[in-house]
Chains A and B, each alone.
Chain A
């Protein structure tokens, strides 16, 4: 059967005219890549329009003295960057952001891991605990920021009332230069905790039970030894991912600052994104704002590269 079918196919091909055959071959050769590019086009166009072009625009604007809504601009080279690094507000803002990140990241990771371990330890009410810890992450931050403002109100707020009832020192948390940044960082931890917890829970689920059994037999059966021998090393990849994502989210903090403190009192809670916003859209110094954006982008890209690099080298075991 097979040879005769091939023969007849051959016959059909010789019967078609020469130009037609050539055309088929050309289409065959190019139709597949063309289809591929066509399919990639919508995604590619959106990526270019919403991401690549704006980034290029930011880099270009950062080298000009353009102000928002202005009709003229001129090229000023690196002057905006020199201004940025010479500006005490920017340096204050940069430092505040670093402090904020240094509180939020370890706090979120530590508490998130602790809660994940506690939830995983007992099967009862697992879904409930998961849900209540994850809620802050889902909630609209603007709305919960208002709730925090009420809680932290110097006279009527629940926090101060509870503190004074317990004989603890009270403060005007959001209006005191000493407390404002740590309090905002605590809100940041509260907000990111659920996210870290969910990722840690998934990571814990993926640890093979065999390893804990092997640890039991090898004698690593106390909670600390189990944690050190199996849990923490096996959570390495997840932890790396959570650290980077939470760090990026902490660098991006804006809503709580904008709603609760507007960078105040003084410049005590001024952070990078808030400076960027104020320079660009309140003072309309768009060129300067773009330079801050470039610095900000640099931080985010560095973090991401660190994540990729470390992930590839160290924390993946297979």
Chain B
């Protein structure tokens, strides 16, 4: 067992660059999630790791062993597909036994009827059956072994697909959106099961998804990809609180982060909807700055003040414990979403004017290209139009 090391992997289909110079270290036993919108290249990367696609350049090592050019079966990796890819004509037991049969029995021993007559076949088959039933019992599908995939529910099929990967005891599990064909309730349950499986097996898991909840709840680390590039690799909480790119900030978080445009003013101050915020960068006056405001970085101000922004309530969404209040601010085209606890929000009416305060320190600044501008000092809003 060892970590997986990906260096400089590129892949193009025709003129389209799907992966651009991807480098990534995956620790042994880590649960790593690759998160990104569809078409960002995450599934292609997974297929290259599995050996189903060949990269144009770059190399992949599993520990000391170079995987490039090896066929999928020699890579010590197993994959769980989005569609489960179970063989519909085989029973659950056969589906799970296939990887072992292909490895431990030769072509003659696998031959129907006649193969059973060859020496050792019976012993190996027995051994395989024992391992399959052990894994099936661990996954709670031992009573389904004689069924065919069509007779199983979505969750059961998913378990069989995981079981087929597990019997081989691979060093790395590759999972390609394994939960996206399940209904919402089952997805939450299977999510917990996959997490538990990882804890129990201790193998390396690489999990591809476009669902940020899965990425945030399952992973040790999250890789955010867009347009064939890695934007950020970090722990889930850092991906949310400390994104290094506007696209990461926008992709992670629900409801979506509010983006407001500001302009640099004199004395390292940025003008945002009439408020002046100090920003410790040496940008020219008039430079476009994008400020990301998480829905919980807004708070209600008690009364109008020089550091408050006035806004009008346009939409109220009750989510149970939280309330999402969409407000319109003068001079800002998009509605802003703020997340308020229920007890703070139940008196708010549509069309009501509000005074909003920004939580200093929770604002994220990005330059015009979407790169994060890191500020060292805590940001406190300076008085409205103080210098205007």
Q: Contact residues of A with B, CB < 8 Å?
A: 208, 210-211, 213-214, 216-221, 224-225, 229-230, 233-234, 236, 317-318
Instruction: Say if the beta carbon of B85 comes within 8 Å of chain A.
Output: yes
- Contacting residue for B89 out of A218, A219, A225, A317, CB 8 A: A317
Which one of B1-9, B75-83, B277-285 contacts A? B75-83
A220 touches B72 (CB 8 A): no
Smallest CB separation, A91 vs chain B (Å): 37
- Bound Cα distance from A230 to B164, whole angstroms: 16
Chain B 76-98 near chain A by CB (<8 Å), digits 1 or 0: 01110111011111100000001
Chain B 40-51 near chain A by CB (<8 Å), digits 1 or 0: 000000010011
Smallest CB separation, A206 vs chain B (Å): 12
A317 touches B150 (CB 8 A): yes
Question: Do A216 and B102 form a contact, CB below 8 Å, given A210-B85, A233-B87, A317-B150?
Answer: no
Smallest CB separation, A207 vs chain B (Å): 10
Question: Do A317 and B79 form a contact, CB below 8 Å, given A219-B103, A221-B71, A221-B72?
Answer: no
Extra pairs beyond A214-B85, A318-B88 (4, CB < 8 Å): A213-B47, A217-B79, A219-B98, A317-B148
* B:92-123 near A, CB below 8 Å: 98-99, 102-103, 107
A residues in contact with B52, CB < 8 Å: 213, 216-217
- Contacting residue for A229 out of B77, B83, B98, CB 8 A: B98
A residues in contact with B86, CB < 8 Å: 214
Question: Do A317 and B88 form a contact, CB below 8 Å, given A208-B83, A216-B51, A218-B98?
Answer: yes
Complex: chain A residue closest to B167, CB-CB: A218
B residues in contact with A230, CB < 8 Å: 87
Instruction: Say if the beta carbon of B149 comes within 8 Å of chain A.
Output: yes
B89 touches A217 (CB 8 A): no
Complex: chain A residue closest to B148, CB-CB: A317
Instruction: Say if the beta carbon of B73 comes within 8 Å of chain A.
Output: yes
Complex: chain B residue closest to A222, CB-CB: B107
- Contacting residue for A217 out of B72, B82, B90, CB 8 A: B72
B residues in contact with A208, CB < 8 Å: 83, 85
How many residues of chain B are within 8 Å of chain A by beta carbon? 28
Question: Do A218 and B71 form a contact, CB below 8 Å, given A229-B87, A236-B89?
Answer: no
A211 touches B73 (CB 8 A): no
A216 touches B71 (CB 8 A): yes
Question: Do A220 and B102 form a contact, CB below 8 Å, given A213-B52, A214-B79, A317-B150?
Answer: yes
Q: 7 tightest CB-CB pairs across the interface, nearest first?
A: A219-B102, A317-B88, A214-B85, A219-B73, A210-B85, A233-B89, A218-B99
A-B contact pairs, 17 of them (CB 8 A): A208-B83, A211-B85, A213-B50, A213-B81, A214-B79, A214-B85, A216-B51, A217-B50, A217-B52, A217-B77, A218-B164, A219-B73, A219-B99, A219-B102, A220-B98, A220-B102, A229-B87
A residues in contact with B98, CB < 8 Å: 218-220, 229
* B:242-280 near A, CB below 8 Å: none
- Bound Cα distance from A43 to B188, whole angstroms: 53
A residues in contact with B90, CB < 8 Å: 233
Q: Contact residues of B with A, CB < 8 Å?
A: 47, 50-52, 71-73, 77-79, 81-83, 85-90, 98-99, 102-103, 107, 148-150, 164
Complex: chain A residue closest to B96, CB-CB: A218
A317 touches B102 (CB 8 A): no
A residues in contact with B89, CB < 8 Å: 233-234, 236, 317
- Bound Cα distance from A46 to B226, whole angstroms: 61
B residues in contact with A220, CB < 8 Å: 98, 102
Complex: chain A residue closest to B111, CB-CB: A228
B83 touches A210 (CB 8 A): yes
Smallest CB separation, A106 vs chain B (Å): 19
A225 touches B102 (CB 8 A): yes
B residues in contact with A225, CB < 8 Å: 102, 107
Smallest CB separation, B90 vs chain A (Å): 8
- Bound Cα distance from A246 to B371, whole angstroms: 66
A residues in contact with B148, CB < 8 Å: 317
- Contacting residue for A218 out of B82, B88, B102, CB 8 A: B102
B residues in contact with A236, CB < 8 Å: 89
- Bound Cα distance from A208 to B83, whole angstroms: 9
B88 touches A221 (CB 8 A): no
Smallest CB separation, A235 vs chain B (Å): 11
Complex: chain B residue closest to A213, CB-CB: B52
Question: Do A216 and B72 form a contact, CB below 8 Å, given A210-B81, A317-B149?
Answer: yes
- Contacting residue for B73 out of A210, A217, A317, CB 8 A: A217
Complex: chain A residue closest to B47, CB-CB: A213
Complex: chain A residue closest to B78, CB-CB: A217
Smallest CB separation, A317 vs chain B (Å): 3
Smallest CB separation, A222 vs chain B (Å): 8
Among B52, B77, B107, B148, the most chain A Cβ lie within 10 Å of the Cβ of B52
Complex: chain B residue closest to A218, CB-CB: B99
- Bound Cα distance from A217 to B173, whole angstroms: 12
- Bound Cα distance from A57 to B83, whole angstroms: 54
Smallest CB separation, A299 vs chain B (Å): 29
- Bound Cα distance from A210 to B79, whole angstroms: 11
Smallest CB separation, A284 vs chain B (Å): 53
- Bound Cα distance from A236 to B86, whole angstroms: 16
Question: Do A221 and B87 form a contact, CB below 8 Å, given A210-B81, A317-B149?
Answer: no
Complex: chain B residue closest to A236, CB-CB: B89
